[in-house]
Amino acid sequence: MTMLKAKTRLAMAAAMLAIPLGGALAMKDGGTLKIYHRGTPPSGSIHEEATNSTVSPYMGVFNNLVMFDQQVAQNSLESIVPDLATDWSWDESKTKLTFNLRSGVNWHDGKPFTAADVVCTWKQLLGDVPRKMKLRKNPRKSWYWNLKGVEASGDNQVSFALGQPQPAFLALLASGYSPVYPCHVDPKTMRTNPVGTGPFKFVELKQNEHVKFVKNENYWKPGKPHLDAIDWTIIRSRSTRVLAFIAGEFDMTYNTDVTVPLRKDVLQQKPDAICPLVPTNVSTNLIVNRDAPPFNDERIRRAMGLSLDRQAFVDIISEGNNFIGGAMLPPPGGVWGLPPEELATTQGYGDVAANREKARELMKQAGFGPDNRVKVTVSTRNIAIYRDPAVILIDHLKEIYIDAELKVIETSNWHATVAKKDYQVGLNLTGVGVDDPDVNFFENYACGSQRNYTGYCNKELQTLFEKQSSMADQEARKKLVWQIDQKLQEDVARPIIYHGNNATCWQPYVKGYVSMTNSVYNGWRLEDVWLDK
Amino acid sequence: MTSYIIRRLLLMALTLVGMSIIIFIMLRLVPGNIADILFDSAGFIDPQEKALLEEELGLHLPLWKQYWDWIYGLVQGDLGFSYVSELPTVDELGPRIPITAKLAGLSLFFAVLIGLPLGVISAVKQNTWADYVVRIISLSGLSLPSFWLGLLILTAFVAWAGYIPIYTSAPETWYDELALLITPAIAVGFRASAIIMRLTRSSMLEVMRQDYVRTARSKGASENVINYKHALRNAILPVTTIIGIEAAFLIGGLIVTETVFNIPGVARFLVEAIQWRDYPIVQNLVMLIALIVVVVNLMVDLLYAVLDPRIRYS
């Protein structure tokens, strides 16, 4: 196990080193990057989706105001670099963030980019636009709880007014999920034929076939992009697409599509493939319907949290490679997660046998025991990455007098089921767009948040969410984030079972790509990628 | 004969109307609609935004109105828009239908080409090594699921040829296309060929014990004349029926094979459209499949009269 962890860290280090090594070679322009995609993206509008099926292929169509440096594997406040903004500054009260914008940038349709486009984009996200321009879906509304308004001063300056200081607001803007949209293009067109200022122009999406992009010849960054085109071929069958990568049909696999066992197969059959394992910042977690008896009894929820043997999950699912952590992705991949010594003192972690003993006591206090077992269904999405851990969960629940049956929900209906609270116990996966508590806490644990599936609401913690968000001292903030994270696990808000660790593989001649270690949503601009062939 | 065909055409129309009602109701009985599913990719459901979306797509209308709108459009040649891609249904289905049709045709051709002669050989050489080999092949065809066979074929290609025969871009010439379709056609057609093989064998064995075959043999007719002119011609009737049925059921085998070989045909598209509750695509495509099935059925029935002169339709 220790050996495997060491290997994972080595692989991550290799991923971080990959670019400087590649960068030392003379870059070549031209060629088409061929990548496979796991399924048809639901649309081309990044702002309307919460899936890397959209953000991975379409990120290159757009620019942000700022972005995470595509050559730095770990996203953090320190790795934020200018994009459409040339620079930025905070006012005295730290509640007004002003960006100076580049001039001479054009949209793919030839119209000029101005500050008005930035204002439009964030007004759309705040829902402050006429119906025709309203986003059909707005999954990141919760990110902007603190945003009070956006104002342009002329064509090249824009200011964001915040309700309270929020240093990490910049991180939200740096995400692949935060592109600037053109004011003059309506949401429907953005879904089907997106227009951006980015290095690649959208050509066409054919359902079940491909998504194609070509180089933006008028890209404002000199010398970029290096590729002439990017072709994403949609292949639903994972076996087929991985075989196709092995056969050399593709230059790259889809974003973290290669699981630990698959990676072994790939490297066995194609030893020169580059396949660093990276934490995905997608957690597998337990959701409990707090309104459905007997789970409205806090003791039962706590007992369930205590029943988990996380190491068993990690060993079975990923041959020991996934990570155990709290709500925030643990180090070394993550910036904000609980370190091992803090994790060991967190309720529900540590000695499994002792935890389960406590859990059985709690169950007895709630009126259940060996002769009076609880019968439940564990619902989950009908995909292997959901089903497999759900089966292990059912086994663990047996230890505390809970007999569960697996109920698989058709994948496309999963969120509808969860939103309607049509489940008792569920096993869920949660991807975090930016490795920052301002995203994770407000999106998944804040009172009333759309994606707070369990309806967990702790007013005290809500105050702490806001407090940590306003802190300028990031080290002090981290300590508070750890406290919050521990409390979330203690409250069985959404017990985290493990954090995923998967690989993106590419052929050795693909240069300039860095697999990000703390988000699968931010590293697909691909403007630095080139082909050494 | 003419009155029979008219009767059958009327029956076909009734069947299609019934089918349209069934598919319309069944789709609405499946939990969730496109609005739920579109929100799924956003990771949440906002009831207000969802209601707006349902209104935009006409899903808020009473069911009878939705049905009427669909049928009215269908009759006028307006198939509506795909909920997912927001493109006209015709544009989505149009390029995919020929791909599946070619694959289905090739699969059936392969099934008949292999199944029929091997079935005859198996019957003529009953209880010899040739019969045993054919029976083993046919048993394999029946037991191997086509997706698994497809994966085996792909793995073998990658391991031994360093090449994978899947569809990653549109082929430029007809022989490129043929080369791409032949492997999946074998994977799908193998099962159908096994059925044809077994049925031909049993049908031939039955016919070969008939008096007229014995008579032909006593008259000194050659074995080839006996087998192919007297026996096969009479044994082919049930085989024709099964070929017709297999042609209709081929779509089931094509769904998985199109997925494994990444062929952008309508079979795989149909499954995805069902998952997305993309009603315009599913309804119109199912109607098209239903139309093909009833037409093939009619053609098989008419073919009986050609193959067996004793059959007369009135």
What are the tens digits of pLDDT across the range B163-193?
899 988 888 888 889 988 999 999 889 989 9
Residue B39 lies in a domain: no
The residues, any chain, with a CB within 8 Å of residue A131's CB and separated by 6 or more, are none
B15 pLDDT more than 50: yes
Residues of B within 8 A of A229 (CB-CB) are none
Residue B230 lies in a domain: yes
Beta strand A425-431 pairing with A374-381: parallel
Residues 264-283, chain A: which have Cβ within 8 Å of B? 269
pTM to 2 decimals?
Answer: 0.86
Kindly report the nearest CA distance between residue A445 and chain B, in angstroms. 14
CATH of the domain at B214: 1.10.3720.10
How far is it, in rounded angstroms, from Cα B221 to Cα B217?
Answer: 5
Domain count, chain B: 1
How far is it, in rounded angstroms, from Cα A361 to Cα A355?
Answer: 10
Residue B243 lies in a domain: yes
Interface-testing mutation among A47, A54, A136, A421, with chain B (most B C-beta atoms within 10 A): A136
pLDDT at position A319 is 94
Q: What is the CA radius of gyration of chain B?
A: 24
- How is residue A518 written in tokens? 């703390």
- Residue for token digits 């119209």? A111
Give the residue numbers spanning the domain of B173: 96-263
Q: What is the pLDDT of residues B103-114, one digit of tens each?
A: 999 999 999 999
Respond yes or no on whether the N-terminal peptide bond of residue A294 is cis (omega within 30° of 0): yes
Residue B148 lies in a domain: yes
Residues of B within 8 A of A194 (CB-CB) are none
- How is residue A2 written in tokens? 């220790």
Task: Return the percentage of chain A with pLDDT > 90, whole number.
Answer: 84
pLDDT at position A174 is 98
- Of the pLDDT bands very low, low, confident and very high (cuts 50, 70, 90), residue B49 is confident
- Residue for token digits 């406040």? A77
Residues in chain B: 314
Choose among A428, A474, A479, A467: nearest CA to A451.
Answer: A428
Residue B81 lies in a domain: no
Residue B255 lies in a domain: yes
Beta-carbon pairs below 8 A across chains A and B: 137
For residues A198 and A61, the answer to whether their CB atoms sit within 8 Å is yes
ipTM of the complex: 0.79
How far is it, in rounded angstroms, from Cα A456 to Cα A78?
Answer: 32
- Measure CA of the first residue to CA of the last residue in chain B; give whole Å: 5
Residues of A within 8 A of B169 (CB-CB) are 210, 231, 233
Q: What is the pLDDT of residues A327-357, one digit of tens each?
A: 999 999 999 999 999 999 999 998 999 999 9
pLDDT at position A24 is 55
Q: What is the pLDDT of residues A391-402, one digit of tens each?
A: 999 999 999 999
The residues, any chain, with a CB within 8 Å of residue B23's CB and separated by 6 or more, are B282, B283, B286, B287, B290
Residue B87 lies in a domain: no
Residue B236 lies in a domain: yes
For residues A159 and A98, the answer to whether their CB atoms sit within 8 Å is yes
A1 pLDDT more than 70: no
pLDDT at position B185 is 92
A292-312 burial: b if 16+ Cβ within 10 Å, else e:
eebbebebbbbbbbbbbbbee
Nearest to B168 among A40, A188, A233 (CB): A233
Please indicate whether, in this complex, the C-beta atoms of B264 and A206 are within 8 angstroms of each other: yes
Interface-testing mutation among B158, B180, B255, B278, with chain A (most A C-beta atoms within 10 A): B158
Nearest CA in chain A to B53: A136
Q: What is the CA radius of gyration of chain A?
A: 23
Q: What is the mean pLDDT of residues A49-58?
A: 93
Nearest to A50 among B42, B49, B269 (CB): B42
B308 pLDDT more than 90: no
